[in-house]
Structure 1
Amino acid sequence: MQCPKDKQVSLVESQLAAQLAAHHCPECEGVWIPGAEYESWQVQQPLTESLSALIDQALETNVDRSPFDARAALCPECNAYLARAKVSAKTPFYVERCPNCKGIWCDRGEWNTLQTLSLHTVIDQMFLGEWQTRTREREQLAQERRATIDKLGAELAAQIFELADILKQHPNGDFGVAYLMRRCDK
Structure 2
Amino acid sequence: MKCPRTGSPLKTVKVGKIAVDISEECGGVFFDNLELDKFDEKHEIRGEVLVEHLTQFESVILDADNRINCPKCENVVMMRRFYSPKQVLEIDECPNCAGIWLDSGELELLRENFSSERERIAMCEKLIQEVDKDPDVIKQRMEHQNTIGNLETFTKVMNRLFTPRHYL
TM-score normalized with structure 1 length:
0.44
TM-score normalized with structure 2 length:
0.48
Structure with higher helix content: 1
Q: Rg larger in 1 or in 2?
A: 2
